[in-house]
Structure 1
Amino acid sequence: MPNSMQQIRLHFDVHADLAQSAYQALDTALEETGFPVAVFETDEKNAVWTVSVYCGEDARAQVSTAIKSVMDSLGVTPNIGEEALADENWVEKTLQDLAPVHAGRFVVHGSHDRNTVRPYEHGIWIDAAMAFGTGHHGTTAGCLHMIGRAMKRCRFFNALDLGTGTGVLAIAIAKAAHIPVLATDIDGIATRIAMENARLNGVGDAVTAITARGFSHRAIAVRKPYDLIVANILARPLQTMARDFASHLAPGGTAILSGLLPRQRARIAASYRLQGLHFVHAHYRDGWMTMEFRKP
């Protein structure tokens, strides 16, 4: 194989507490390069996750520097490993090793597992891509579980998916509730992928994806109030945006928040209680926590 075709994988291990923060920070740092970033649990017993970046040989030093800089900002010195990859589609190869994820009646699967979805389940076809959310992360699966739980209790009509990634949550809502969903992400690549996945799953007419930071986009204001808002991001922005969640929720509306660690429960609950939202339920999966709040 010519050297110009050689791909490598730079990888390092992190504790579950830092997995999503490391992934998102590194993905942002490498956004302009287009190098794919992936994160998967590799040792459930010891709560170890592996973060990987795929790039060409000539970008090895650039990526290594980015990894060290990002992890230094998180107070960690990474032990970076390297693997030379064959000339093949690494995304497809990785996906073949991922089993379908079951969360209530939702099943997130790749193209190779389309026939495993049973008639009473909502199948969501998501192949690995340059965006967060194949369903295998505890935060995504936790959101799906909580969405299904909330839908047993409430009938929703207008939903917002904040930080959509691959669009998996927006697609789940559109499929199960048959309602319009506005999906947003700060990453333009993610919103494009989310729309492609929505069309792939037959809900392209129901899901609208836009590139936006927080609640600042005019399209978000135009469609409010929402009776369901889901956000799988991180504790700090979720805490900062508590007032925005309250102002965009309809009376009786539900907010489902993830990207949280169990130790962050008290401060998130307090922030949303100050805005008049009532804590309803917390769900724990793979070391992560998803919380549900309701507006009176």
Structure 2
Amino acid sequence: MSDKVDSWRVTLPCTRAEAEAIDAADDLVIDAVLMTTEEVEDDRERWRLDAYVEEEPDAALLAALAALVPSAAGIAPVVTPLGAEDWVAMSQAGLEPIREGRFVVHTSAHPVAAPPGGRAFLIDAGQAFGTGHHATTSGCLAMLDGMADRAFANVIDLGTGTGLLAFAARHLWPAATITATDIDPAAILVTRDNAADNGIDALHLIVADGALSDDIAARAPYDLVIANILAGPLISMAPEVAAIAAPGATIVLAGLLDTQRDQVVAAFAACGCTLERVDRRGDWTILRLAAGTTRYVPTRPIDPKGRDGWALDL
């Protein structure tokens, strides 16, 4: 290692539940690349949080990181100076390729070839959620892969993150119109760059809060709606998601814990949707629903700040 300190790593122990909460969060305001790793296979208590930063971490950053992992209370973080290596690549060194059906997802640190008849996607960890390494994203890949024999013409990926699920849809249904949206402009920029890296073209990229956008409405109705977000937003967004779905459309939902499944299903059932399939992965659940036989019309205007009055029991 060079004597020149180019970046820093902060390491703290954590539990699997804490790691999954960190991976799923889309509102963290910590200026660091965060990586969670299972240290002992199938041990819910033996996980690790690594945070990579370009400047020496100060007390405020250390406190913010400690707040993410309450189980590590009283344990001093390990702060390691790093040399001039590419520190983002180092943060991805432990992200082994993920294989789901015909798809394999890998980082720059672990390049792999596509499986026969399948597709490999290069998705590096960075500013957006959705590298395929979280159970919700990999579960969505599996759900989409299982629908390869269906025909979809107009697909939307709400909360696209890195763009991975939109890319998978493009591979499975090459003639379809594919729209990818995210509330975070940075995620749309990441999706654009990832699309270029993977040779994906003809995507409509939209910065939007949920499904409330004139651009989204103009392209509706969609016969496949994908929303890998979180349970609370999914519940509040149920009327607007149902409203952009074509009659009988397929709706894939993820980002929810199994304990939150009934509340999410109830919110969409109130909008005419019925549950078709459940894929449970650890504590996380992926749902496939069918929209009603007639297009849903919200019973009242949807306020983007308040939306509907669904409450989420944690």
TM range, smaller chain: 0.7 to 0.9
Q: 1:2 to 1:83 in 2, by over 3 A?
A: same
Which structure's residues are more often helix, by fraction? 1
**Pairing partner for 2:184 from 182, 187, 192:** 187
Which residue does 1:82 correspond to in 2? 78
SS in 1 for 2:36: strand
The residue type equivalent to 2:248 in the other structure is: G
Q: How far apart in 2 are the matches of 1:217 and 1:211?
A: 9
**Pairing partner for 1:249 from 240, 245, 248:** 245
Which residue does 1:138 correspond to in 2? 135
Scaled by the length of structure 2, the TM-score of the pair is: 0.82
**Pairing partner for 2:266 from 270, 274, 277:** 270
| Contact 1:12–1:78 (CA under 8 A) maintained in structure 2 | no
The worse-fitting range, judged by mean Cα deviation, of 140-149 and 113-122 is: 113-122
Scaled by the length of structure 1, the TM-score of the pair is: 0.86
The worse-fitting range, judged by mean Cα deviation, of 192-201 and 48-57 is: 48-57
The residue type equivalent to 1:124 in the other structure is: F
The residue type equivalent to 2:29 in the other structure is: A
SS in 2 for 1:28: coil
| Contact 1:26–1:67 (CA under 8 A) maintained in structure 2 | no
Which residue does 1:16 correspond to in 2? 16
Q: How far apart in 2 are the matches of 1:197 and 1:20?
A: 24
Residue 232 (structure 1) shift: 1.3
SS in 2 for 1:202: coil
Q: How far apart in 2 are the matches of 1:156 and 1:175?
A: 12
| Contact 2:238–2:271 (CA under 8 A) maintained in structure 1 | yes
Which residue does 1:121 correspond to in 2? 118
Q: Map 1:142-221; keep pairs closer than 5 Å.
A: 142-152=139-149, 154-178=150-174, 179-205=176-202, 207-221=203-217
Q: How far apart in 2 are the matches of 1:249 and 1:294?
A: 9
The residue type equivalent to 2:185 in the other structure is: G
Q: How far apart in 2 are the matches of 1:192 and 1:64?
A: 29
| Contact 1:107–1:117 (CA under 8 A) maintained in structure 2 | yes
Residue 16 (structure 1) shift: 3.2
Query: Residue deviations 1:197-253, cap 9 Å, x none?
Result: 112212122x23222221222211111111111111111111111111111111111
Q: How far apart in 1 are the matches of 2:187 and 2:74?
A: 27
Gaps of 5+ in 2: 293-314
Q: 1:98 to 1:243 in 2, by over 3 A?
A: same
Gaps of 5+ in 1: none
Residue 2 (structure 1) shift: 6.4
Which residue does 1:229 correspond to in 2? 225
The residue type equivalent to 2:117 in the other structure is: Y
| Contact 1:158–1:181 (CA under 8 A) maintained in structure 2 | yes
Residue 190 (structure 1) shift: 1.5
Q: 1:112 to 1:53 in 2, by over 3 A?
A: closer
Q: How far apart in 1 are the matches of 2:74 and 2:41?
A: 19
Query: Residue deviations 1:37-74, cap 9 Å, x none?
Result: 333444441235433321134443232232345567xx
SS in 2 for 1:8: strand
Q: 1:260 to 1:42 in 2, by over 3 A?
A: farther
Answering whether residue 45 of structure 2 is matched by residue 61 of structure 1, we say: no
**Pairing partner for 1:238 from 234, 237, 256:** 234
Answering whether residue 281 of structure 2 is matched by residue 285 of structure 1, we say: yes
Residue 26 (structure 1) shift: 7.6
| Contact 2:106–2:121 (CA under 8 A) maintained in structure 1 | yes
Residue 113 (structure 1) shift: 4.8
Q: How far apart in 2 are the matches of 1:243 and 1:234?
A: 16
